[in-house]
């Protein structure tokens, strides 16, 4: 901060103050006032795409950022960087900006001659012809055009970009020759993965003067590498060739690239076993050979002494490679998805630098030595899941932060030694045969605790404190009893709470409603009872996306405004994301569901359900709801599943529901509904069982006609 100028009595002091004031004024002006012609060009480019179209099913984090651009506020130009001194645009970062249509040869984009950085990735233009015009932006140093549907060959005009140091063209449909790149003498990073390049890899590409990183993975490169006779002077340090179709020997020709530090040759087409143990990769630090056949596993290692990570997963390995004993700097080893069985050798835990070990999806069943073999290891993460381990869980090292041991046959009590783990963040012991109670210490440092599908009994310990960082607690499918521990209200980081299929006896946990990050609550199949509405505790759940209280003994009725104060994620209308796979991350960011089925709830379905515009699934089946089906359900335009079966609902099915174009599952059977079933593809495409057991429904998919003998339709009232 500049000190204010105090009264001065000398010309030199006065001039000093003037200079400082002038400096800071000029600096602020240069930072906030880009050149007017640059603003004009940007706004002209914005007008070329007046209607941004976001495709969230492909690019989940799209943002129509050009919508904010305005000449009234220079700070509105999201994704634009202006040069502090000259005011010209030097950086345009428009990845996922929802731009689509035609990028013409006369586009305003190509008037930004001072651009040094351009990222148009995750947009989609009608044609790839604009690629030729990019050669006009001769000051470009970084050009990123990933996942844009580009096809054809790399245009020769790209060779004009003589200052280019970074080029990304991944996730497109490009093919042909790499020759336009050979003149890019400053290029240090090239990513052209997930395209349609075929044939061989020219040495002219691998020996470009400054190229240190090249990613050619997931193409159709197929020629034998035996023909490759590249100079050992290549500066390549990272080479990614995974998921291609190379045949014959692979490693021997590549071993001539003496500066390589990282090499990915995963999942090739070759039937030639890879022998990498005796090759002269003296600088190699990271080696990925996943999905290949490996030979000479039990010889001495004579390769790089600096190897730090090794991927041997999916290699059909039947015994532990003994050469690993010689890898004293190895930090990461993935040997999962193989055919290993029997004991894990004791020497594995003696590797001095090993911090991460992945052994999942094998048939391993025990550990050589005592249960304390892991105690002195250097491991910070271990994955033992999907094996056949039995007996007690081994005692783990104090520094372990991640332990995954799900889908095994471990038994006995969960070791109290886990209480001594100061760094343990993730513990997954699900789908085993553990018995006894949940140790009262596990909430101290753990962020994710998964104990589902075991034989645990007793109460959950009531020891969750405000200093904890618990984000996920899943104890579903055990035999836990008692009440929910009230100290869970202290877990302000909690996102997922799942206690389904236990014997917990309690009332609805209104006291959890203000947890700021809680997204998923699953209380199903327990012994909860009492009302789920309290005028003293209106439900807010600021981040709630999924709530399942099914198959309990909740009772009472719900007021019309019951859903009015529910979370913003349920109320806010999402962008078009139909068809997203429901991985956990996408569930937490998009999927919303309410399941109140299998209880004793009464009264009418609240009209306020129509406020939850992002709802995907709504299930009130097997209750005692009465009255009419609320027409406000028609506002749930994203609804894919609706189950109101086995209640006491009467009257007509609102005809407005025919507009719900996303509905895939509907069940309104076994109620007292009458009249005509809404006629739409979604309703007519359901099985007859979805509407059976009502008083007088008619129309498809039922066979009952809605016309009387005289041709008049039946009443809809």
Nearest to 408 by CA among 433, 428, 388: 388
Which residue among 160, 190, 220 closes a domain? Answer: 190
In the prediction, which pLDDT does 72 show?
81
Task: Say whether 297 sits in a helix, a strand or coil.
Answer: coil
Task: Say whether 449 sits in a helix, a strand or coil.
Answer: strand
- Containing domain of residue 648, as a range? 572-698
Position 6 in a domain: no
CA–CA separation, 59 vs 490, rounded Å? 36
Which residue among 190, 209, 231 closes a domain? Answer: 190
| CB hemisphere CA count around 209 (13 angstroms) | 7
| CB hemisphere CA count around 94 (13 angstroms) | 27
CA–CA separation, 192 vs 420, rounded Å? 48
CA–CA separation, 267 vs 291, rounded Å? 4
DSSP state of 423: S
Which residue among 190, 225, 259 closes a domain? Answer: 190
Contact status, residue 292 vs residue 277, Cβ threshold 8 Å: no
Task: Please list the residues that pair with 507 across neighbouring strands.
Answer: 529
Task: Say whether 568 sits in a helix, a strand or coil.
Answer: helix
DSSP string over 642-699: EE--SSEEEEPPPGGGGG-TT--EEE--SSEEEEEPP-SHHHHTS-GGGT-S-SEEES
Position 4 in a domain: no
- For residue 652, CA distances in Å to 335, 630, 668, 676 come to 60, 10, 11, 7
Contact status, residue 682 vs residue 661, Cβ threshold 8 Å: yes
Paired tokens of 246: 């190379």
Task: Say whether 550 sits in a helix, a strand or coil.
Answer: coil
CA–CA separation, 50 vs 509, rounded Å? 49
In the prediction, which pLDDT does 651 show?
94
Nearest to 625 by CA among 609, 636, 614: 609
What values do phi and psi take at 227, rounded to 5? -80, -10
Number of independent structural domains in the chain: 2
Domain with residue 688: its CATH number is 3.80.10.10
CA–CA separation, 652 vs 716, rounded Å? 7
Position 222 in a domain: no
Contact status, residue 433 vs residue 413, Cβ threshold 8 Å: no
Paired tokens of 353: 């630098």
Position 300 in a domain: no
**Hey, CA dihedral for 546, 549, 550, 556, is it positive or negative?**
negative
CA–CA separation, 446 vs 146, rounded Å? 38
Q: Could you read off the pLDDT of 71-109 as tens digits, one per residue? A: 888 888 999 999 999 999 999 999 999 999 999 999 999
- For residue 641, CA distances in Å to 265, 363, 544, 614 come to 44, 39, 18, 12
CA–CA separation, 466 vs 487, rounded Å? 9
Those residues of the chain that have pLDDT short of 70 are 1-32, 224-233, 278-280, 443-444, 572-590, 707-717
In the prediction, which pLDDT does 305 show?
86
CA–CA separation, 100 vs 111, rounded Å? 20
Contact status, residue 212 vs residue 189, Cβ threshold 8 Å: yes
Position 149 in a domain: yes
CA–CA separation, 586 vs 664, rounded Å? 20
CA–CA separation, 175 vs 713, rounded Å? 62
In the prediction, which pLDDT does 656 show?
94
In the prediction, which pLDDT does 468 show?
73
Global confidence as pTM = 0.84
Paired tokens of 541: 């759940």
DSSP string over 205-265: HHT-TT--EEE--SSEE-S-GGG----TT----EEE--S----S--HHHHTT-TT-SEEE-
Contact status, residue 658 vs residue 665, Cβ threshold 8 Å: no
CA–CA separation, 401 vs 380, rounded Å? 5
DSSP state of 26: H
Element (H, E) at 427: strand 426-428
Position 278 in a domain: no
Position 521 in a domain: no
Position 517 in a domain: no
């Amino acid at each position: 901060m500049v000190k204010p100028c105090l009264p001065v009595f000398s010309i030199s002091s006065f001039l000093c103050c003037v200079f400082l004031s002038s400096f800071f004024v000029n600096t602020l002006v240069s930072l906030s006032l880009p050149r007017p012609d640059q603003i004009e060009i940007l706004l002209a480019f914005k007008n070329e795409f007046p209607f941004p179209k976001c495709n969230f099913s492909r690019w989940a984090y799209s943002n129509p950022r050009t919508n904010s651009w305005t000449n009234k506020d220079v700070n509105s130009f999201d994704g634009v960087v202006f040069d502090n001194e000259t005011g010209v645009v030097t950086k345009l970062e428009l990845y996922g900006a929802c731009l689509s249509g035609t990028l013409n040869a006369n586009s305003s984009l190509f008037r930004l001659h001072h651009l040094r950085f351009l990222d148009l990735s995750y947009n989609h233009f009608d044609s790839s012809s604009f690629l030729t015009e990019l050669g006009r932006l001769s000051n470009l140093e970084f050009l990123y055009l990933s996942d844009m549907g580009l096809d054809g060959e790399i245009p020769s005009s790209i060779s004009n970009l003589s200052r280019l140091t970074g080029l990304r063209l991944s996730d497109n449909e490009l093919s042909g020759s790499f020759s336009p790149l050979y003149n890019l003498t400053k290029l240090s990073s090239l990513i052209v993965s997930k395209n349609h390049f075929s044939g061989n890899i020219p040495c002219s590409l691998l020996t470009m003067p400054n190229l240190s990183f090249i990613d050619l993975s997931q193409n159709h490169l197929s020629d034998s590498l035996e023909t490759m006779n590249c100079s050992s002077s290549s500066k390549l340090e990272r080479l990614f060739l995974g998921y291609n179709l190379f045949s014959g020997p692979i490693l021997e020709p590549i071993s001539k690239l003496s500066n390589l530090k990282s090499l990915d040759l995963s999942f090739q087409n070759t039937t030639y076993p890879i022998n990498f143990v005796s090759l002269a990769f003296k600088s190699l630090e990271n080696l990925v050979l996943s999905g290949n056949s490996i030979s000479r596993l039990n010889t001495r290692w004579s390769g790089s002494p600096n190897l730090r990570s090794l991927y041997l997963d999916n290699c059909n390995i039947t015994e532990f490679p003994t050469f690993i004993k010689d890898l004293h700097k190895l930090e990461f080893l993935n040997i999962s998805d193989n055919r290993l069985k029997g004991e894990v050798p004791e020497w594995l835990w003696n590797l001095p630098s090993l911090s991460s070990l992945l052994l999942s999806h094998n048939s391993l069943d025990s550990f050589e030595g005592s249960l304390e073999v892991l105690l002195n290891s250097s491991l910070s993460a271990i994955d033992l899941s999907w094996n056949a381990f039995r007996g007690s869980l081994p005692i783990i090292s104090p520094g372990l932060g991640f332990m995954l041991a799900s889908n095994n046959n471990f038994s006995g009590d969960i070791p109290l030694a886990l209480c001594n783990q100061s760094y343990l963040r993730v513990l997954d012991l699900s789908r085993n045969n553990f018995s006894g109670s949940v140790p009262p210490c596990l909430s101290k440092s753990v962020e994710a605790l998964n104990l589902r599908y075991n034989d645990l009994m007793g109460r959950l310990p009531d020891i969750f404190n405000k200093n904890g960082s618990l984000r996920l607690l899943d104890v579903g499918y055990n035999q836990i009893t008692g009440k929910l521990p009230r100290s869970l209200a202290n877990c302000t980081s909690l996102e997922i709470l799942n206690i389904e299929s236990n014997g917990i006896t309690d009332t609805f946990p209104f006291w959890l409603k203000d947890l700021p990050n809680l997204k998923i609550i699953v209380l199903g199949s327990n012994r909860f009872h009492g009302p789920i509405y309290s005028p003293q505790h209106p439900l807010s759940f600021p981040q709630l996306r999924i709530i399942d209280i099914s198959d309990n003994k909740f009772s009472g009725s719900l007021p019309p405004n019951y859903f009015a104060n529910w979370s913003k994620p349920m109320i806010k209308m999402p962008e078009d994301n139909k068809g997203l796979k429901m991985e956990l991350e996408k569930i937490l960011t998009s999927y919303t569901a309410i399941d109140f089925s299998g209880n004793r709830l009464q009264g009418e379905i609240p009209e306020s359900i129509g406020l939850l515009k992002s709802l995907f699934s709504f299930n009130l089946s097997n209750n005692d709801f009465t009255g009419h089906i609320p027409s406000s359900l028609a506002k749930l335009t994203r609804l894919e599943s609706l189950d109101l079966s086995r209640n006491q609902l009467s009257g007509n099915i609102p005809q407005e529901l025919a507009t719900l174009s996303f509905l895939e599952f509907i069940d309104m059977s076994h109620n007292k509904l009458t009249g005509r079933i809404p006629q739409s593809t979604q309703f007519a495409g359901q099985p007859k069982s979805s509407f059976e057991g009502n008083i007088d429904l008619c129309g498809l998919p039922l066979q009952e006609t809605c016309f009387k003998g005289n041709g008049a339709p039946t009443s809809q009232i």
